[in-house]
């Protein structure tokens, strides 16, 4: 006979649901490719004469992100973006496929579910915007699958025939074509005027193919092509027509390129334009309580250090330590809106996958925004087998579900978890099994699950 919940909780009422939070309706993820702390510092000095003055530096929650790939080596953009888009670590050069498999549930090369696909299944609209070409690694990881980041044709095919993002705005070529987009039902624009002339209330699918390859540096002038800020405005105007909300990823792709060639001028100007695009998102979300904005980077490029502030309008004196290569340095992260409080201290890039989906309910271990008996088995699983828990409940970020708030899930959480159940269980859910309760006793001395990447 199974132990009854009433025995375990000493008569506490278990008959009512407790729904106290929901994931954000809209998610705006802004990625400065290659943007480390010094890149941000230098741009603030140039723009305003002092560091700490870019738009996103005023967001209320801030921290650092670790970026190493699955083998604890310096990441590339493909592995870093895959970590954010799927919650799993992979090898460099890999676009959202199991390479290597993160668990027994996957074979080598299997597609890993991406945020684009997950949110698409929830009827949210999806937008990808970049100053690099549209099939480059960072946008690709959120809506495509490829064993090689250079497999541009298949990445474009995934866009057009599988995930079908509502908005694709960035450099053209590299697998993207007007014919392919039109055949998939997209309106195609190739310059700024065409993009700004569309009726964003009527167009549901827009492909902006601006040139052939990466878009020009800000320092070179964009001619008739749109700036990142302008593309962001158009994307938001289309995506916000969805009743279920949207997911938008905006990449300042050329910050990385400027750092690769150790051009502080291009790094500064690209970061300033990226900050302008962030301000667009902040302005759009102003007054709302349903939108999460996260600003971060995929990795640091160049080993940049700022040596001396040159003042407003003047480039700072800097040094470069990596010869233009990526580094293992942590990158900044800033957040505002529901779930933004989870962005603090040092987190891993895989944590971002969970943060954007977290329900906001303490003790909600199955991610349905209700605390009830259905949370008991996943609670036990979180204690005894963290990787299996992450596999089974990818939308649960345990820093938020942690009942006693001490940064880990272990038996010390039983009392607050049971207290949450006192207002959370429903009469028609299965009773916890005898084996489950005995399992709790068997793990009294088990080490608690700590937060951060477990993949």
- The pair of three-digit structure tokens given for residue 394, joined into one six-digit string: 């990818």
Widest Cα–Cα separation across the chain: 76
Nearest Cα to 452, choosing from 390, 379, 405?
A: 390
Angle between helices 264-285 and 37-48 (to 10 degrees): 80
Pairing of strands 61-66, 125-133: unpaired
How far apart, in whole angstroms, are the C-alpha atoms of residue 73 and residue 69?
A: 6
Contact 301, 260 (CB under 8 A): yes
Cis bond before residue 325 (omega within 30° of 0): no
Can you state the percent helix, strand and coil of the chain, rounding each to 5?
35, 20, 45
Helix (H, G, I), strand (E, B) or coil at 301: strand
E-state strands within 92-148: 125-133
Alpha-carbon span 94 to 389, nearest angstrom: 24
Contact 366, 396 (CB under 8 A): yes
Segment (H or E) for 84: helix 77-86
Q: How far apart are CA 285 and CA 148, in angstroms?
A: 36
Q: Which of 94, 125, 134 is nearest to 253 (CA)?
A: 134
Q: What is the DSSP string of 192-215?
A: HHHHHHS-TTT-S-EEEEESSSSP
- Rounded to a whole number of angstroms, the CA Rg of the chain reads 23
pLDDT beneath 70: ranges in the chain: 1-21, 423-455
How is residue 294 written in tokens? 């996260």
Using CB atoms within 10 Å of the CB of residue 32, give its burial: 0 to 12 exposed, 13 to 18 middle, 19+ buried: buried
Going along the chain from its start, the domains and CATH numbers come out as 5-21+363-450 (no CATH), 26-355 (3.40.720.10)
Backbone φ and ψ of 365, nearest 5°: -90, -15
Of 276, 323, 304, 254, the residue nearest 38 (C-alpha): 304
CA distance 34 to 249: 16
Contacts of 438 (CB under 8 A, 6+ apart): none
* H/E stretch holding 206: strand 206-210
Would you state the pLDDT for residue 90? 97
If phi > 0 it is left, if psi is from -120 to 50 it is alpha, else beta; for residue 263 that is beta
User: What's the pLDDT score for residue 440?
Assistant: 52
Torsion of CA 80, 84, 86, 88, to 10 degrees: 60
- Residue 170 CB partners (closer than 8 Å, separation 6+): 128, 129, 130, 131, 132, 133, 134, 136, 139, 208, 210, 215, 231, 251, 253
Token pair of 249 as six digits = 């990823």
- CB neighbour list of residue 216: distance below 8 Å, 6 or more residues apart: 222, 223, 225
- 3-state class of 166 per DSSP? coil
- For β-strands 326-327 and 300-301, DSSP reports them as antiparallel
SS3 state of residue 346? strand
């Amino acid at each position: 006979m199974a132990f009854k919940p009433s025995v375990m909780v000493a008569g506490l009422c278990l008959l009512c649901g407790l729904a106290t939070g929901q994931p954000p309706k809209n998610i705006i993820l802004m990625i400065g490719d290659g943007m480390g702390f010094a890149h941000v510092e230098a741009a603030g000095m140039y723009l305003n004469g002092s560091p700490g003055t870019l738009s996103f530096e005023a967001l209320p929650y801030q921290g650092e992100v670790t970026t190493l790939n699955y083998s604890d080596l310096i990441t590339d953009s493909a592995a870093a973006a895959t970590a954010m888009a799927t919650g799993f670590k992979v090898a460099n050069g890999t676009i959202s496929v199991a390479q290597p498999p993160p668990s027994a549930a996957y074979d080598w090369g299997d597609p890993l579910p991406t945020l684009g696909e997950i949110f698409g299944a929830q009827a949210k609209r999806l937008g990808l915007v970049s100053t690099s070409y549209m099939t480059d690694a960072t946008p690709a990881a959120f809506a495509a699958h490829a064993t090689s980041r250079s497999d541009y044709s298949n990445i474009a095919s995934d866009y057009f025939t599988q995930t079908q993002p509502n908005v694709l705005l960035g450099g053209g070529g590299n697998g993207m074509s007007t014919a392919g987009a039109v055949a998939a039902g997209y309106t195609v624009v190739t310059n700024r005027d065409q993009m700004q002339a569309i009726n964003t209330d009527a167009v549901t699918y827009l492909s902006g193919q601006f040139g052939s390859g990466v878009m020009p540096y800000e320092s070179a002038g964009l001619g008739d092509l749109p700036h990142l800020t302008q593309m962001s405005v158009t994307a938001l105007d289309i995506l916000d027509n969805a009743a279920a909300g949207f997911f938008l990823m905006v990449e300042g792709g050329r910050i990385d390129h400027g750092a690769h060639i150790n051009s502080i001028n291009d790094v500064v100007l690209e970061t300033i334009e990226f900050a302008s695009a962030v301000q667009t998102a902040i302005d759009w979300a102003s007054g709302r309580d349903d939108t999460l904005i996260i600003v971060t980077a995929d990795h640091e490029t160049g080993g940049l250090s700022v040596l001396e502030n040159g003042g407003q309008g003047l480039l700072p004196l800097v040094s470069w330590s990596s010869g233009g290569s990526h580094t293992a340095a942590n990158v900044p992260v800033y957040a505002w809106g529901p779930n933004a409080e989870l962005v603090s201290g040092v987190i891993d890039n895989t944590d971002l996958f969970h943060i954007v989906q977290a329900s906001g309910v303490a003790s909600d271990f199955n991610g349905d925004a209700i605390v009830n008996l259905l949370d008991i088995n996943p609670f036990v699983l979180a204690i005894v087998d963290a990787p299996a828990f992450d596999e089974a409940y990818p939308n649960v970020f345990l820093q938020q579900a942690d009942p006693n708030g001490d940064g880990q899930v272990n038996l010390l959480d039983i009392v607050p978890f049971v207290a949450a159940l006192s207002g959370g269980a429903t009469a028609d859910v299965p009773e916890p099994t005898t084996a489950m309760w005995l399992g709790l006793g068997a793990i009294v001395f088990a080490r608690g699950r700590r937060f951060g990447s477990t993949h």
